[in-house]
């Protein structure tokens, strides 16, 4: 590997390490500046003597990356919480809904930004009346601090406080008295995209029954709030919860479809239009960590292809992580979806190929070997993390994943076609919806069948130390297997 590539990975990797350490250990800002200054001074020396002191140059890269990461996290923190004086008291607060409300089967929840600034509030209320992004409200209720909770009795504790804090949410209000005083206070582009998504989902719900419509809404747009609780439980027990959210693979399908739509344009214009459409799609779906990661990697792929340069998926993954941490460094330690998304992507890049080489007896038809290797690789590599965070794992996940995953792209295509056709003609939408409904219902039946098995899941919570040790062991095993495969290829 070239020195430039090594320094690239060391710098960005150290930046991530700096953010991670600062997330748990207070790093004095003065110390960060002193360390950063020392690294910059050393960088000048390393530049003048790069042939003589390569180790110093790489050490400088590591130091600069680490201190910048620690500094970025430190700058994201604030000690000013003006609403703390209302904690435990009934308060009336004016503000604006700053994100699309999360509609649930039994109510709604939204993020509320106080008019006078400060930390945000998560507000839980009844299902009606429905509120939208950008609504101006006056809410009255007792202001409380959120609390951590156990995922199940005796299971690992979910750090709900830090999970909310990563989005600047410090308080909560439950079933307040709400008065709507205005609307349209949000970003007009985001508001328009949310309106488009809502209209699209209305068309889908018009032609597809529940829970099929909510299911396909999750596949295409990440909508899952209205799924019945028992259906969501079946997905969890069968190890298929990941398809209820807009996963990286689903975003990839959408990105490829958008590029195909603009393929009639000249190459540069088509790729630019496709890239802009992917960004708008990410904004429309709420810009979750998984969606943003997949979107950035897709844009890097487009840029590399446009420049005529090879696409390095590992470099794209590292760059996307650093870009996201620059925007919000708190997600590294406190956003489970961010962590799980990157672990799953690492598994697809490094673990799945090793598994695939050992499944040569599985036929390639219908992408069976590819699906099986990716499923096994992802299950293996994310297992310690899931057990440490959730304390529970589905032991039957492999089979339902093999049965359901191959049908996901077709279900997405069918759901999208129903939504588009719903704007055009009922006579076009109905037959498409009928075929799509059969496919969705079949997938849901598989989920229901496996979710009903009494032995579908086991509870085996593991602590953070054991999780770290497990990943050290996994990395060692992966390195050994890759070296063995490389030596076999060289000898042959």
3-state DSSP assignment of residue 27? coil
Provide the β-strand partners of residue 123.
Answer: 110, 173
Mean pLDDT of 117-145: 92
Residue 157 has pLDDT above 80, yes or no: yes
Amino acid 484: pLDDT: 83
Q: With a cut of 90, say whether residue 114 has pLDDT above it.
A: yes
Average of per-residue pLDDT across 275-298: 85
How many helices (H) and strands (E) the chain has is answered by 19, 11
N-term to C-term CA, the chain: 23
**Predicted confidence (pLDDT) at residue 30 exceeds the cutoff of 70:** no
Residue 28 has pLDDT above 80, yes or no: no
Instruction: Say what the pLDDT of residue 45 is.
Output: 63
- The whole-number pLDDT of residue 491 equals 64
**For 385-411, how does the pLDDT look when each residue is reduced to its tens digit (9 = 90+)?**
998 988 888 889 889 988 898 888 899
Cα distances (angstroms) measured from residue 447 to each of 234, 378, 397:
6, 19, 10
How high is the pLDDT of residue 26? Answer: 80
User: Quick one: pLDDT at residue 52?
Assistant: 57
Evaluate if residue 366 carries a pLDDT over 80. no
Across 253-274, average pLDDT: 78
Whether the per-residue pLDDT at 367 is higher than 80: the answer is: no
Quick one: pLDDT at residue 4? 67
Q: Does the pLDDT value for residue 257 go beyond 80?
A: no
The pLDDT assigned to 53 comes to 56
Quote the pLDDT of residue 284. Answer: 85
What pLDDT sits at residue 224? 59
Is 80 exceeded by the pLDDT of residue 205? yes
- Alpha carbon of 454 to those of 17, 227, 395, 457: distances in Å? 41, 22, 11, 8
**Band of pLDDT at residue 44, cut at 50, 70 and 90:** low
Task: Report how far residue 129's alpha carbon sits from residue 145's, in angstroms, rounded to the nearest whole number.
Answer: 25
Give the predicted TM-score (pTM) of the model. 0.88
pLDDT of residue 46: 61
- For 393, half-sphere exposure in the C-beta direction (CA atoms, 13 angstrom radius) is 16
Mean pLDDT along residues 260-279:
81
| Whole-number pLDDT of residue 59 | 77
pLDDT surpasses 90 at 372: no
Q: Across residues 185-214, what is the average pLDDT?
A: 90
Lowest mean per-residue pLDDT among 86-90, 95-99, 185-189, 239-243: 239-243
Highest mean pLDDT range out of 54-68, 157-171, 258-272? 157-171
CB contact at 8 A, 397 and 344: no
Question: Which pLDDT band holds residue 43 (cuts at 50, 70, 90)?
Answer: low
pLDDT of residue 49: 59
Q: What is the mean pLDDT of residues 278-294?
A: 84
Alpha-carbon distance 3 to 7, whole Å? 6
Residue 37: pLDDT over 80: no
Q: Which of 246-255, 335-344, 456-465, 476-485 has the highest mean pLDDT?
A: 335-344
Q: Which residue has the higher pLDDT, 487 or 95?
A: 95
Contact status, residue 207 vs residue 146, Cβ threshold 8 Å: no
- pLDDT confidence of residue 406: 87
Q: How far apart, in whole angstroms, are the C-alpha atoms of residue 164 and residue 300?
A: 30
Least confident of 115-124, 289-298, 301-310: 301-310
Higher-scoring residue by pLDDT: 53, 151 = 151
Per-residue confidence (pLDDT) for residue 371, from 0 to 100: 83
Pairing mode of beta strands 136-142, 120-125: unpaired
154 close to 117: Cβ distance less than 8 angstroms? no
- pLDDT at residue 47, rounded to an integer: 64
Segment 93-98 mean pLDDT? 94
DSSP 348: I
As a whole number, the mean pLDDT across the chain is 86
Determine the pLDDT at residue 301. Answer: 84
**DSSP secondary structure code for residue 144 in this structure:** B
pLDDT-derived band at 323, boundaries 50, 70, 90? very high
| Number of Cβ within a 10 Å radius of residue 30 | 8
């Amino acid at each position: 590997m070239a020195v430039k590539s090594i320094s690239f990975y060391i710098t960005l990797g150290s930046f991530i390490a700096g953010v991670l350490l600062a997330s748990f250990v207070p790093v004095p800002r003065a110390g960060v500046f002193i360390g950063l200054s020392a690294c910059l001074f050393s960088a000048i020396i390393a530049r003048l003597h790069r042939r003589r002191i390569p180790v110093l140059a790489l050490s400088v890269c590591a130091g600069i990356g680490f201190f910048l990461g620690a500094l970025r996290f430190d700058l994201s923190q604030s000690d000013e919480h003006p609403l703390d004086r209302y904690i435990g008291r009934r308060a009336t607060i004016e503000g604006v809904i700053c994100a699309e409300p999360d509609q649930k089967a039994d109510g709604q929840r939204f993020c509320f930004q106080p008019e006078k600034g400060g930390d945000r509030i998560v507000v839980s209320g009844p299902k009606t009346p429905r509120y939208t992004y950008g609504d101006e409200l006056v809410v009255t209720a007792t202001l409380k601090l959120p609390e951590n909770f156990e995922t199940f009795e005796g299971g690992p504790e979910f750090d709900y406080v830090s999970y909310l804090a990563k989005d600047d949410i410090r308080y909560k209000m439950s079933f307040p008295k709400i008065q709507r005083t205005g609307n349209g206070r949000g970003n007009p582009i985001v508001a328009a995209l949310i309106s488009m998504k809502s209209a699209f989902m209305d068309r889908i719900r018009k032609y597809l029954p529940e829970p099929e419509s909510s299911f396909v809404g999750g596949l295409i747009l990440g909508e899952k709030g209205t799924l019945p609780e028992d259906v969501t439980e079946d997905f969890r027990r069968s190890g298929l919860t990941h398809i209820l959210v807009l996963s990286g693979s689903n975003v990839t399908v959408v990105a490829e479809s958008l590029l195909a739509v603009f393929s009639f344009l000249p190459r540069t214009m088509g790729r630019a239009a496709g890239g802009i459409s992917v960004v708008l799609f990410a904004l429309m779906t709420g810009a979750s960590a998984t969606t943003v990661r997949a979107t950035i990697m897709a844009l890097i792929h487009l840029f590399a292809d446009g420049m005529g340069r090879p696409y390095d998926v590992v470099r794209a993954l590292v760059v996307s992580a650093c870009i996201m941490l620059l925007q919000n460094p708190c997600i590294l330690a406190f956003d489970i979806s961010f962590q799980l998304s990157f672990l799953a992507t690492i598994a697809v890049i490094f673990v799945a190929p090793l598994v695939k080489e050992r499944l040569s007896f599985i036929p390639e038809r219908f992408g069976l070997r590819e699906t099986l290797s990716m499923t096994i690789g992802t299950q293996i590599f994310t297992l310690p993390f899931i057990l440490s965070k959730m304390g529970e794992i589905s032991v039957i996940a492999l089979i339902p994943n093999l049965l359901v995953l191959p049908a996901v792209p077709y279900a997405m295509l069918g759901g999208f076609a129903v939504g588009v056709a719903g704007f055009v003609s009922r006579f076009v939408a109905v037959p498409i919806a009928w075929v799509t409904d059969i496919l969705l219902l079949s997938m849901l039946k598989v989920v229901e069948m496996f979710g009903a098995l009494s032995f579908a899941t086991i509870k085996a919570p593991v602590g953070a130390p054991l999780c770290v040790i497990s990943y050290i062991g996994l990395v060692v095993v992966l390195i050994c297997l890759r070296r063995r495969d490389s030596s076999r290829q060289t000898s042959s």
